[in-house]
Amino acid sequence: MDNCLFCKIIKGEIPANLIYEDDLAIAFEDINPQAPVHFLVIPKEHIVSLDNVDENKKLLLGHLLLIASKLAKEKGLEEGYRVVNNCGIDGGQTVDHLHFHILGKRKMLWPPG
Ligand code: AMP
Ligand code: ZN
């Protein structure tokens, strides 16, 4: 997608603090961190949201969560962390390219606002 911020990060057209890359996905630090550790895991394929996946994306979705788990270990989040997916308007999604937030190194509140 030409106008997608995260596609531009994938293509290297916009800088980001990349912490992981493979054929299918990248992970990078969130520009506006909501916790001492806050990074995003995204597919390289432009998928708008979790509302835009089907059976064909099953392996990719599992891959993204495994990356989240591995990077959380690398970041030393042994006390735990939160994985968030904001989906659509009610979910508070602001960038229309599927992404998982991983937040750690502070106690998270529940329920979310
Ligand atoms: P969401 O509200 O779930 O769609 O999350 C979008 C996230 O992308 C927010 O946490 C933003 O801080 C983050 N974000 C926006 N622009 C950038 C950027 N250029 N680099 C890194 N993170 C970004
Ligand atoms: Zn995109």
Q: Give the CATH number, domain containing residue 49.
A: 3.30.428.10
Residues catalogued as catalytic: 99
Question: Given pLDDT bands bounded at 50, 70 and 90, which one contains residue 97?
Answer: very high
Answer for the pair 85, 50: CB distance below 8 angstroms, yes or no.
Answer: yes
Q: What six digits make up the tokens of 13?
A: 């057209």
Ligand 1 atom with least separation from CA of 92 = 2
Residue 10, domain member (yes or no): yes
Residue whose Cα lies nearest atom 15 of ligand 1: it is: 31
pLDDT at 2: 85
Residue whose Cα lies nearest atom 12 of ligand 1: it is: 32
Domain enclosing residue 86, as ranges: 5-104
Q: Report the domain count for the chain.
A: 1
83 lines ligand 1 (CB under 6 A): no
Each residue's pLDDT tens digit, 10-50 = 999 999 999 999 999 999 999 999 999 999 999 999 999 99
Ligand 1 atom with least separation from CA of 96 = 4
Q: pTM here?
A: 0.98
